[in-house]
Amino acid sequence: MRTALDEARAALVGGDVPVGAVVLSPAGTVLGTGHNLREATGDPTAHAEIVAIRRAAVALGAWRLTDCTLVVTLEPCTMCAGAIVQSRLDRVVYGARDEKAGAAGSLWDVVRDRRLNHRPEVVAGVLEEECGRLLTDFFRSDR
């Protein structure tokens, strides 16, 4: 999660919401990292999770991220939850809950929906206070 927090801070440079993500191999090595790049790139799909998943897939040379873990500072939204399911990640670890758009247990629970063919494990609240504080400080500033 510390690496994901570093990525979240990197998002601030481009004026993006400070969310960071890391995809880890089964052995715990970093396969891909990402932070929000929507403002920097003008790409509405450039969420931290999507960026990290894409980079991990390139590193592995395959779209299936079976046995891998996504670590992200904020609970994934519905778009990212869909990408998590489609990429076959085994586990999602997130910091702060997103009561307004979270899709891993808060508002929705897309990643564990029994109607889907893949349901990763979800671990919530890792360094929650630190992850949440970064976001709160961002939204309280004059951006």
Return the domain boundaries, the chain: 1-136
Among candidate residues 82, 88, 86, the one with its CA nearest the CA of residue 108: 82
pTM of the complete model beyond 0.75: yes
Structure confidence at residue 143 (pLDDT): 56
Annotated binding-site residue numbers for Zn(2+): 47, 77, 80
- CATH class belonging to 1-136: alpha beta
pLDDT value of position 142: 62
The residue from 7, 39, 49, 130 that is catalytic is 49
Which 3 state secondary structure label does DSSP give 66? Answer: coil
Q: What is the DSSP string of 83-138?
A: HHHHTT-SEEEEEE--TTT-TBTTS-BGGG-TTSS---EEEE-TTHHHHHHHHHHH
Residues of the chain with pLDDT under 70: 142-143
Check if 49 is active-site.
yes
d(CA 121, CA 16): 28
